[in-house]
């Protein structure tokens, strides 16, 4: 599990620098093959459960069918992926939607092109959850008030949705103390008492439960049972210069999402090809859902919560421009 899986700590200076040093071309290279023209496309990803359809689609030939020679390049997190997409290092990237909203309010020239992943909507059995030790006095999200809760990145989709769970449970979300910590360090930190609770994604959540941890909140599902969590995006420059390539990528990715949704066992097994997940953890971890459509109502709610938390610096993200 890479650090700051959902995070996108992009500073305005970094974004401007990335845009300024971009190549004069779109970055995608065309090459002839015996079967006709193909275009090499690089996608910036983080090796987590969420991007399984991308790898599965590559294996099944969906991208090749659309003339795309797909190359995945892993990054430490969204902070590297967004500037990489803007500069042309990657033609497409994967990021959680709150991070994309933050980037847009900072003037980053990006646009979402196809859905990525969503909550499964199951409270108590979602792809992320707030876990506590077995003997903890914390029984519900309301009890997180005044406690230290680990999230992978501050002022992002994690603490935003955790606050909503606390709010819905009748607690004061402003009194939750968030601590920034990589997902892969959370199970040990929770077990060792360094934090009172931890908001974790997979496989960290399954690892923690294997150590006896209990799930007391499912922030994604509790925020919205149809919450769109992350999408694939590109630069507005590539969209303008190579709209046909964007259409091909979107079509291939849509097929990949549909296939992963219809073949969860294959999707689960695909994880072993690009992560170190195996054994009992592979068998027991919770899968998200991979709908082909972005749920705009859920994004509007998430944006409102982000505005309430002040994570957009007083600006308001233009959801229609970013996601439609």
Same domain, 24 and 85: yes
Which of 205, 223, 241 is the endpoint of a domain?
Answer: 223
Residue 48, domain member (yes or no): yes
pLDDT at 125: 95
% the chain with pLDDT above 70: 88
User: What CATH number does the domain containing 89 carry?
Assistant: 3.40.190.10
Q: What is the mean pLDDT of the chain?
A: 89
pLDDT at 75: 81
Same domain, 205 and 282: no
Same domain, 97 and 162: no
- Strand, coil or helix: 214: strand
Residue 66, domain member (yes or no): yes
Residue 79, domain member (yes or no): yes
Same domain, 18 and 113: yes
List, for residues 3-28, the tens digit of each pLDDT value: 344 444 333 344 433 444 333 344 55
Which of 223, 251, 277 is the endpoint of a domain?
Answer: 223
Same domain, 218 and 233: no
Q: What is the 3-state secondary structure (H, E, C) of 125-179?
A: CCCEEEEECCCCCCCCHHHHCCCEEEECCCCCHHHHHHHHHHHHCCCCHHHCEEE
Distances (CA, A) of 43 to 232, 284, 295, 304, 309: 9, 28, 23, 30, 31
Residue 6, domain member (yes or no): no
List, for residues 84-135, the tens digit of each pLDDT value: 999 999 999 999 999 999 999 999 999 999 999 999 999 999 999 999 999 9
List, for residues 257-295, the tens digit of each pLDDT value: 999 999 999 999 999 999 989 999 999 999 999 999 999
Same domain, 25 and 163: no
pLDDT at 28: 59
Same domain, 185 and 245: no
Sequence length of the chain is 324
Which of 177, 193, 223 is the endpoint of a domain?
Answer: 223
Where in the sequence is the domain holding 275, given as residue range(s)? Answer: 12-119+226-323
pLDDT at 287: 96
Same domain, 19 and 103: yes
Same domain, 273 and 319: yes
Residue 272, phi then psi, degrees to nearest 5: -70, -15
Q: Which band of pLDDT confidence, cut at 50, 70 and 90, is reported for residue 61?
A: very high
Same domain, 163 and 76: no
pLDDT at 4: 40
Q: Who has greater pLDDT, 13 or 178?
A: 178
Q: Is the pLDDT of residue 76 over 70?
A: no
pLDDT at 18: 40
pLDDT at 15: 46
Residue 67, domain member (yes or no): yes
Residue 218, phi then psi, degrees to nearest 5: -125, 80
pLDDT at 46: 87
pTM reported for the whole predicted model: 0.88
Q: Is the pLDDT of residue 35 over 70?
A: no
How many structural domains are present in the chain?
2
Residue 115, domain member (yes or no): yes
């Amino acid at each position: 599990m890479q650090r700051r899986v959902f995070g996108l700590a992009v500073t305005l200076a970094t974004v401007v620098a990335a845009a300024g040093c971009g190549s004069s071309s779109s970055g995608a290279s065309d090459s002839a093959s015996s079967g006709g023209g193909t275009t090499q496309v690089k996608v910036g990803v983080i090796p987590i459960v969420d991007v399984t359809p991308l790898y599965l689609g590559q294996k099944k030939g969906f991208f090749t069918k659309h003339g795309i020679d797909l190359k995945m390049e892993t990054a430490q997190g969204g902070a590297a992926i967004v500037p990489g997409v803007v500069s042309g290092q990657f033609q497409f990237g994967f990021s959680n939607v709150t991070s994309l909203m933050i980037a847009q309010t900072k003037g980053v020239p990006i646009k979402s092109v196809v859905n990525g992943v969503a909550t499964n909507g199951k409270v108590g059995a979602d792809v992320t959850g707030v876990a506590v030790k077995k003997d903890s006095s914390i029984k519900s999200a309301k009890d997180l008030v005044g406690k230290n809760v680990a999230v992978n990145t501050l002022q992002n989709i994690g603490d935003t949705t955790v606050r909503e769970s606390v709010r819905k449970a009748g607690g004061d979300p402003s009194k939750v103390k968030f601590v920034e910590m990589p997902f892969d360090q959370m199970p040990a930190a929770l077990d060792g008492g360094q934090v009172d609770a931890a908001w974790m994604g997979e496989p960290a959540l399954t690892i923690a439960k294997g150590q006896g941890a209990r799930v007391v909140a499912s922030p994604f599902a509790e925020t919205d049972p149809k919450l769109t969590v992350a999408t694939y995006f590109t630069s507005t420059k590539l969209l303008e210069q190579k709209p046909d390539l964007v259409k091909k990528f979107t079509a291939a990715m849509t097929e990949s999402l549909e296939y992963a949704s219809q073949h969860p066992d294959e999707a689960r097994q695909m994880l072993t090809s690009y992560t170190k997940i195996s054994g009992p953890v592979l068998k027991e971890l919770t899968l998200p859902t991979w709908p082909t459509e972005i749920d705009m109502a859920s994004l509007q709610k998430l944006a409102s919560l982000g505005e309430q938390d002040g994570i957009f610096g007083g600006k308001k993200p233009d959801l229609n421009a970013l996601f439609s």
